Amino acid sequence: TRLLEYITDADKTYNATIELGKSTDTYDGEGMVTDVVPDLSVNEFDIQSSIEALKG
């Protein structure tokens, strides 16, 4: 814990795998699939915009 002050200022990186068009009962990749959108229409701009909105 004495080094914690140096660690908290470091940049953090998160990796994620996202399946578009699926919903699960636990809202993550581990749950049972409850809904599937077969013809999901998104483009790269939509995805990049959504990712930017999560940064902070």
Q: CA-CA distance, 21 to 41, in Å (whole number)?
A: 9
Residue 36, SS3? Answer: strand
Q: 5 is written with which tokens?
A: 């002050």
- Tell me the two tokens of residue 25: 């009962």
pTM of the model: 0.54
CB-CB neighbours of 2 under 10 Å: 5
Asked if residue 24 lies in contact with residue 33, where contact means CB atoms within 8 angstroms, the answer is yes
DSSP label of 8: T
- pLDDT in single tens digits along all 56 residues of the chain: 677 777 777 777 888 888 889 999 999 989 999 999 988 899 999 999 988 998 87
